[in-house]
Amino acid sequence: MEAGKKIKRIGVLTSGGDSPGMNAAVRAVARTALYYGIECIGIRRGWQGLINGDFVILTSDMVRHILGRGGTVLYTARSDEFMTEAGRLKAVGTCKMLGLDGVVAIGGDGTFKGALELSRLGVPVMGIPATIDNDIGCSNYTIGFDSACNTAIECIDKLRDTMQSHERCSVVEVMGRHAGFLALYVGIAVGATSVLIPEKELDFENDVIVRIQNARLAGATHFMVVVAEGAGSAIDIGQRIKESLGMDPRVTVLGHIQRGGSPTGRDRETATRMGYYAVRAFAEGRTGSIICTREGGIVETPIEEALAMKKHLQMDRYEILEAIASSGVYQGSK
């Protein structure tokens, strides 16, 4: 951004998979922009909308009641066209046509890769991490994670009621793509018998079969196995349990229900703070960064640096899960 240039108009878009709290972030961007005397344009349908010129002017009234709504009022879409140079040049043309002095992009890694390419073509950008996977390396937390965890926990608690009544085993697959953050958090919260995550190589006999056997010997009559989608198929795990133990597990794939619903207080508050800081950065002449949470505060990380950062699962949480689960099961085999 040119030094001393006054920001008059910015755009905001949501891209990639939706997550609870995206609307709260859009609201915060629009309201903060108005606070700084900046006009805010909502770009609908992500990067594809920027190519097509699909937009709406965001007024205070338009974002008044979206704080607690799930999904995204700006819609979201993946764009193969934006992956091409021709598509990105069209997007730059739209920015010029609309007179945008910058774009706030809300989403995950794919969204930020698009933002980086746009910035290389001269469009100032800021990113806000929003994904239920919580797998953005530069940020301790991403918008939507807490809401997705609570949705999964509520569903599993209800499944546990019926599994307990029928003395059965339940295998539940949660989302998370190639990361086990969601599965491990949920597994600890519901007291799962076993949790399978992509960060830990599966030893089916010890990680699943032995744990179920020991739990049964200790008096348990129902068992809960939580599987991260990146660790394997819950259907396959259920079949292997049936073949090994003669049980008839009930398999549930929670799927996209985890993306929906009203965001939790944590996601609303985090989204609001991130939206505010993204616009404030523009107003103060800073661009090209991702708004991140780190050690309880908000920091800005350059996009290129942010994309190079990897996020590792805190395996001490898996150790906690093992310790808590093991202390309540049969000890005679030790």
- Bridge-partner residues for 127, per DSSP? 105, 290
Residues 6+ apart with CB under 8 A from 165: none
Element (H, E) at 302: strand 297-302
3, 30, 72, 175, 280 from 41: Cα distances, Å: 23, 8, 15, 32, 16
* Class of residue 168 by CB neighbours under 10 A (exposed 0-12, middle 13-18, buried 19+): middle
41, 110, 122, 199, 328 from 193: Cα distances, Å: 49, 34, 52, 18, 10
Q: For residue 248, indicate whether it is catalytic.
A: no
Letter string b/e over residues 43-72, b meaning 16 or more CB atoms within 10 A of that residue's CB: bbbbbbbbbbebbeebeeebbeebbebbbb
Closest CA to 31 of 59, 6, 73: 59
CB 167 within 8 A of CB 222: yes
Integer Cα distance of 75 and 18 in angstroms: 8
SS3 state at 149: helix
Integer Cα distance of 207 and 132 in angstroms: 25
Beta strand residue intervals within 46-204, DSSP E: 55-57, 103-107, 125-129, 169-174, 194-196
Closest CA to 12 of 64, 88, 73, 97: 73
CB 16 within 8 A of CB 76: yes
Q: Which of 18, 133, 146, 267 is catalytic?
A: 133
Q: Catalytic positions, please?
A: 133
